[in-house]
Structure 1
Amino acid sequence: LPTSSSFYLPEEYSNLAYSEKDDFDKIEESLKGVIPVDAYNILNAHKDEAIYSRTDHHWQPLGAYYAAEQFALMAGVPFADLSEYETVTLPGYVGTLYMYTQSATLLNNPEDFVYYKPKTPVTVTQYDTHFKNPVAANLLLDPSPMPNSGYYMVFGSDERIVHVNTECKNGRNLVIFKDSYGNALLPMLTSSFENIYLCDIRYFDLNAIDFIDSVEATDVLFAMCSFSAVGANRSCIHNNLKK
């Protein structure tokens, strides 16, 4: 998944970043038995919309929607139109960039955080990173007690495995290995798979292949931003081979 720098980095700062598109193309060339999902071009086509936050290093849920739609197309599963969701707008969002910097410029220039709630019911169970200690949960958290910089947390924290059982009875079971970018994808795929397992590869204490087999997955999606694919977090993927 590209970060916002792929589309909005000012030209005068282009020498400070590598081309994420080049990275994605090189990764795709090396894949064997894996279907690449082109999130870059679909997001580029919508870059004039609010697909990334101005005040946060994450994308906005609208960006996740377009990427999820592209994935569903490649996977050959149904996909709900955005009109089938309830739209929730939270004003005054200043995001993680403010949380990290305490910048008055960001504080004085907030944005809206807009997310989408599926209208169809789902059953959600959260587990620890060993896939133990199940607890019933909601798909999305209540943002009312959250600080303005924490609205992305409506999708929950990363240190858990989440199982979502849906009304889409197509026998397709999806495992998503993700970083925090992948959290926003989960609500967008509840009309596409019967069971979804959301696992953060940075906090995953099981062997990934054994886990995939144990939940009888029919599909596996790697949904991480470029930093996790080619930056420091890539070691988490490599180290999982030894678990």
Structure 2
Amino acid sequence: MINNKSERSLAVGFVATLFLLSLTFILSPVVKFSELENRYLQAVPRLTWDNLMSKKFADDTEKFVTDHFPLRGDWVSVKSAFEQMRLQQENNGIYKGKDGYLFEKFSEPDAALVAKYADVVKQFAAMHPETNVAFMLVPTSVGMYPERLPWKAPNYPQKNVNDAIADRLQGIGNLTYMDGFEFLRPHATENLYYRTDHHWKTLGAYYAYEAYARQMGWKPLSITDFDVTTVSESFLGSFHTRGQFSMLKPDEIQAFVPKKQTHTEVYVADTDETLPSLYDDSFLRKKDQYSYFLGGVHALMKLKSDFGDGQADLDKLLVVKDSYAHAFLPFLTQHVKEIHVIDIRYYNGSIADYMKANGITNTLMLFNTATFVGNTEIMKIDN
């Protein structure tokens, strides 16, 4: 009898808990950005016939429920505390590596999907034969420093992915492939990546700029042409917030400001506002300090530089990118009058129509390897 009552109580308690969690989930406002995880959360899934047939709706729904689960941040913190008590070197897909580095787990991607994404880039270039297209694919820190992972931590080499994509992109005359390993590996002993965040540091972005400028036939500025200033010494990035590992030394954030500056205004189409600078100091007092560069993620921006009596190397450039471009773009403002910037994850218009309307014949696509192979939004490049 006691067992039956106990079982009924457990069942009632379980159902009540599910009901309360469901009610909390339904009534809670949809949050776009997670300060804890330093990333944009899955938006409300769009129910369309194409999404249903491709299973995108089901995948997005699962991500949405996971991202917006009630008290998600508290559960992440509690789980991390228990994992560290057990001396675990991995939590929430983040490894605690050597030299104070945190790394995101990188598994072997679906080869068919990688080929499909590469084919979209190739098709884009083929459909715009009058356009000079450069595709830059940059490794993340785990791709550059796999030897700093914990002993026997599973990791698929990102170089294999970059090489497979390089092979896939051959055969289009107006398409140039730029492998980040080629211009970053010679500087691998330098601090190219943040230890606690998924982005490269400004120094890593500088070497990418140097390589791109030379590919375009421009003379890149040397490091001595910049005043390198440390704007923050307290940056704990996305890997820290996801892994929740304690006793970590914060990262520094540096700005490379040209000694001979060209004034640049930043127009943000999302909010229809014009910002007077490439940098937003207010983010240095927030969790998301990387948004110091360009004020964070926007679907569409235009960077317009005043060269005065000087001559720009290029009038217009379209950059289709992920957030790795944010520390990179300020360097390009020293060469290009107008830089149109589209984040493919949030821009839903036709890129071809945008190029035609704005008279753009030079395009740079800049992605890190993990984002490129892990985000179906890349298919929108073909719009």
> Under TM normalisation by the shorter chain, which class is it?
0.7 to 0.9
For normalisation by structure 2, the TM-score amounts to: 0.57
The residue type paired with residue 114 of structure 1 is: Q
Match of 1:159 among 294, 298, 305: 298
Q: Aligned ranges for residues 1-243 of structure 1 at < 5 Å?
A: 1-10=138-147, 16-31=154-169, 32-33=172-173, 34-89=175-230, 90-106=232-248, 109-119=249-259, 120-129=261-270, 133-143=272-282, 146-147=285-286, 149-155=287-293, 156-166=295-305, 167=307, 168-231=311-374, 233=375, 235-242=376-383
How high is the sequence identity, in percent, across the aligned residues?
A: 28
- Relative distance call for 1:145 and 1:67 in structure 2 (3 A) is closer
Deviations 1:18-68 (A, max 9, x none): 221111111112222311123212111111111101111111010000011
Q: CA RMSD of the aligned region, Å?
A: 2.2
Query: 2: distance between equivalents of 1:13 and 1:177?
Result: 37
Q: CA deviation at 1:137?
A: 3.6
More displaced 10-residue stretch of structure 1: 46-55 or 162-171: 162-171
Show the counterpart of 2:71. Answer: none
Q: CA deviation at 1:14?
A: 6.4
Q: CA deviation at 1:160?
A: 3.7
- Secondary structure (helix, strand or coil) at the match of 1:57 reads coil
- Matched pairs, number: 235
- Relative distance call for 1:24 and 1:172 in structure 2 (3 A) is farther
- Relative distance call for 1:144 and 1:152 in structure 2 (3 A) is closer
- Secondary structure (helix, strand or coil) at the match of 1:182 reads helix
Query: 2: distance between equivalents of 1:186 and 1:115?
Result: 12
The answer for unaligned runs of 5 or more in structure 2 is: 1-137
- Secondary structure (helix, strand or coil) at the match of 1:36 reads strand
Q: CA deviation at 1:205?
A: 2.3
Contact 1:118 1:190 in 2 (8 A): no
CA radius of gyration, larger in: 2
The residue type paired with residue 113 of structure 1 is: I
Deviations 1:122-175 (A, max 9, x none): 23232335xx8342442111157523x432111121124221222252343111
Contact 2:299 2:344 in 1 (8 A): no
